[in-house]
Structure 1
Amino acid sequence: MKLILVDDEKGIIKGLQKMISRSIPECEIIGEAYNGVEGAQLIQKLQPDIVITDIRMPKADGLDMIKILKDDGSQTKFILLSGYADFEYARRGMHLGVQFYINKPVDEKQLRDCVHQVMELIGKERAKLREVDDLKQEVHSRIQEDVLREILDLGSDQTDLVEELFRIAQIQTEGTSFACVLLEFDGNFDTLKEFGLQSVYYQIDNALGQYQSVYRFRYTGAQVAVVVSHVGSIKYEELVGTIYFMKEEVYRELGLSMTVGIGGLKKQAIEIGQSFEEARNALSYKIVKGAGAVIRFPEIVNLTRQSHLVTDEMLAKLETSLENMDEVGCVDIIREVFRGMEAQAGVSPADLQLHCLNILLSSVRKMSFQQLQQNDFLSRHILSLESISRFRTLEQLEEWMVEVIRGIISFKLKHNIPKKKVIIEEIKDYVSTHYNEPISLADLAARFFISPHYLSQFFKQKTGDTYVNYLARIRIEKAKELLENTDSKVYEISQMVGYIDSQHFTRLFERLTGCKPSEYRKNLPKI
Structure 2
Amino acid sequence: MMFKILIIEDEKPLLDKMVNNINWQKHGYQIFQAVNGLEALSILQDEDIDILVTDIQMPGLNGIELVNKLREDYRDIKVLIISGHAEFEYAQQLIRLGVNEYLLKPFRSQRLLEAVNEIRDGISRENKDKEELASLRNELSVYLNKNVRNDTLNWLTDDKFFENQSIIINNNQLYQLIKSGSEEELLKEVDHILKHIGGLKGDRQGLFILLNNLVLFTFQALKELGYDYQDMIKKIDNVYLEKVINGDNLLDLEKWLKDFFLDVNSMVTCPKNNQNEILIEEVKEHIKKNYQEGITLTELSQHFNVSSGYLSKLFLDYVGENFTDYLNMIRVNKAKELLKTTDKKIYQIADEIGFNDSFYFSSWFKRLVGVTPTTYRDNLEFL
Q: Same fold judged by TM-score > 0.5? A: no
TM category, shorter: 0.3 to 0.5
- TM-score, normalised to structure 1's length? 0.30
- Return the structure number with greater helix share: 2
- TM-score, normalised to structure 2's length? 0.39
Instruction: State which structure, 1 or 2, has the greater radius of gyration over its C-alpha atoms.
Output: 1
- Return the structure number with greater strand share: 1
